[in-house]
Chain A
């Protein structure tokens, strides 16, 4: 048999060449103007990048994001399972939750949680509807900017995650559930072993987006002086007037965090697409 190798000549594409050259030129010019710009104070940026206060804020940003995502995902799974249950009461409760917390601005929720002492001065554990209390604390001691931020972000995140998880669960072929039922698996086993692992494929990409957006949403906590990355940057520039330099410092860290998160998301996507 004769070999017929293909060594084809590519047709010239002058348009694409010109476009690429222009784009490259624009990028080089942009980087150049930024680097040589005397108003950017590169020396200040470099010193503050590893400043103790900035690193402290960074740590709080990471902690807020991680905690509110983990608990938010848990809340979301719970609310999604409730919304798909047979009981109208459970469905209603979960529906009300997502409706309320997706329907009001996060900013309002954050301020509300910080000021919850105005509505409920005492928070405790006891018999509801005016029964005796076993433990109670003044709300003002329990609610710090950090706990208020955590409450606000977590509960808000749970409401969004509920919708994402619900869509994921509904994307699983009902035949899967029937096959599992006919093996004698219980509802809980079916959810854990069959439905959720398959729903993950649909759940993970938007959850990754939520995580990345949460890294930046934590900056909203600055309205209740939450001590995360943006708030500490602001405190510093209110002192030394290096506004742009400190915003560059904060943005650099945000970019770094979101880049790491993106890599993590790719990894999880691959892990949960087994068999596809």
Chain B
């Protein structure tokens, strides 16, 4: 287990009568970049949200860096974690959303400082200089004082990535980070993600950007109707899909 950064085992998730994940298993090694593709409603977002416990799971197990997510195993029984322990687990897992979800009442800099200051109680001055360094890393040092409203979509998403990185996560989850962006803004965000992947960050990326999956991804997962239909090295899956459903889906998006 210690060899995986993320280990997802037979996870099931139901919303009422609708079973959205029907036994999904996935292993991500440290530094691995897994891209998840699949049709709308297939359960991609739900799978990501189960990893940082934004959704509770109905069956299966999720481990991040060897630690069981959402439960503690004591005397052969599972105990639900207390809220403060869940918070501690989430601090280690960054998440980037399709619609950015920056805090609109804070500047870019304040957004990036929020996690360290409020959660980790890092002194303001330290947090500010770290946040500046992160904004610089995503190419937005000159926009530190801007409010999200005053930034383009691509810039907002890069601030959102910096905000997650400020917590020094072991793992980053991306849920269609470029789907809400105008086409000419997609590349600036993908470039930040490529740099992040090259720096050794473990990433799970739900995306429709097949070019990114091919070049930056180590592993590609095609998910449909709550099950992993096909997975493997991105180039292989993309150029020689083995399953009819994968072929049909790739035929539509490529």
Residues on A facing B (Cβ under 8 Å):
173, 175-176, 178-187, 189, 193-194, 197-198, 272, 274-276
A230 CB, nearest partner CB in chain B, Å: 40
Q: Given A173-B101, A181-B90, A183-B167, answer yes or no on A275-B148 (Cβ-Cβ < 8 Å).
A: yes
Please, which residue of chain A has its CB at the minimum distance from the CB of B160? A179
A276 to B149, CA, bound (A): 7
A200 CB, nearest partner CB in chain B, Å: 9
A111 to B84, CA, bound (A): 46
Cβ of B147 and Cβ of A181 under 8 Å apart? Answer: no
Cβ of B105 and Cβ of A197 under 8 Å apart? Answer: yes
Cβ of A183 and Cβ of B114 under 8 Å apart? Answer: yes
A to B contact number (C-beta, < 8 Å): 74
Cβ of B104 and Cβ of A198 under 8 Å apart? Answer: yes
- CB neighbours (8 Å) of A187 from chain B are 83
Cβ of A275 and Cβ of B99 under 8 Å apart? Answer: no
* Of listed A179, A181, A193, residue having the most chain B CB within 10 A: A179
Give 1 or 0 for each of B104-135: 1 = CB within 8 Å of chain A CB: 11110000001100110000000000000000
Q: Given A182-B54, A184-B90, A189-B118, answer yes or no on A275-B167 (Cβ-Cβ < 8 Å).
A: no
12 contacts between A and B (CB under 8 A): A173-B101, A181-B90, A182-B94, A184-B87, A184-B89, A184-B90, A189-B119, A198-B105, A274-B105, A275-B104, A275-B105, A276-B104
B172 CB, nearest partner CB in chain A, Å: 10
Please, which residue of chain B has its CB at the minimum distance from the CB of A182? B95
Q: At the interface, yes or no: B88 with Cβ under 8 Å from chain A?
A: yes
- CB neighbours (8 Å) of A194 from chain B are 103
A198 CB, nearest partner CB in chain B, Å: 6
Cβ of A186 and Cβ of B84 under 8 Å apart? Answer: yes
Cβ of B54 and Cβ of A183 under 8 Å apart? Answer: no
Q: At the interface, yes or no: B97 with Cβ under 8 Å from chain A?
A: yes
Cβ of A185 and Cβ of B87 under 8 Å apart? Answer: yes
Residues on B facing A (Cβ under 8 Å):
52, 54, 83-84, 87-95, 97, 99, 101-107, 114-115, 118-119, 147-149, 160, 163-164, 167
- CB neighbours (8 Å) of A185 from chain B are 87, 115, 118-119
Cβ of B114 and Cβ of A182 under 8 Å apart? Answer: no
Q: Given A183-B90, A184-B88, answer yes or no on A175-B101 (Cβ-Cβ < 8 Å).
A: yes
Cβ of A275 and Cβ of B149 under 8 Å apart? Answer: yes
Q: Given A184-B88, A274-B147, A275-B149, answer yes or no on A179-B167 (Cβ-Cβ < 8 Å).
A: no
B202 CB, nearest partner CB in chain A, Å: 16
A182 to B97, CA, bound (A): 10
- CB neighbours (8 Å) of A179 from chain B are 95, 97, 101-103, 160, 163
- CB neighbours (8 Å) of A184 from chain B are 87-92, 115, 119, 167
- CB neighbours (8 Å) of A197 from chain B are 105
Cβ of A178 and Cβ of B97 under 8 Å apart? Answer: yes
Cβ of A182 and Cβ of B147 under 8 Å apart? Answer: no
- CB neighbours (8 Å) of B163 from chain A are 179, 183
Top-6 shortest CB links A-B: A184-B91, A179-B101, A275-B147, A182-B95, A183-B115, A175-B101
A179 to B100, CA, bound (A): 8
Please, which residue of chain A has its CB at the minimum distance from the CB of B94? A182
A177 to B168, CA, bound (A): 20
- CB neighbours (8 Å) of B105 from chain A are 197-198, 272, 274-275
A181 CB, nearest partner CB in chain B, Å: 6
B212 CB, nearest partner CB in chain A, Å: 22
A156 to B246, CA, bound (A): 62
Please, which residue of chain A has its CB at the minimum distance from the CB of B120? A184
B144 CB, nearest partner CB in chain A, Å: 14
Partner of A183, one of B83, B84, B164: B164
Given contacts A183-B115, A184-B91, 12 further A-B contacts (CB under 8 A): A175-B101, A176-B101, A176-B103, A182-B164, A183-B90, A183-B164, A184-B89, A184-B92, A184-B119, A185-B119, A189-B118, A275-B148
- CB neighbours (8 Å) of A181 from chain B are 54, 90
A187 to B167, CA, bound (A): 18
Q: Given A181-B90, A183-B90, answer yes or no on A193-B118 (Cβ-Cβ < 8 Å).
A: yes
- CB neighbours (8 Å) of A176 from chain B are 101, 103
A193 to B119, CA, bound (A): 11
Cβ of A182 and Cβ of B149 under 8 Å apart? Answer: no
A251 to B214, CA, bound (A): 75
Please, which residue of chain B has its CB at the minimum distance from the CB of A197? B105
A185 to B164, CA, bound (A): 12
Please, which residue of chain B has its CB at the minimum distance from the CB of A193? B118
Please, which residue of chain B has its CB at the minimum distance from the CB of A188? B83
A276 to B119, CA, bound (A): 26
Please, which residue of chain A has its CB at the minimum distance from the CB of B147? A275
A73 to B38, CA, bound (A): 48
- CB neighbours (8 Å) of B164 from chain A are 182-183
A115 to B139, CA, bound (A): 68
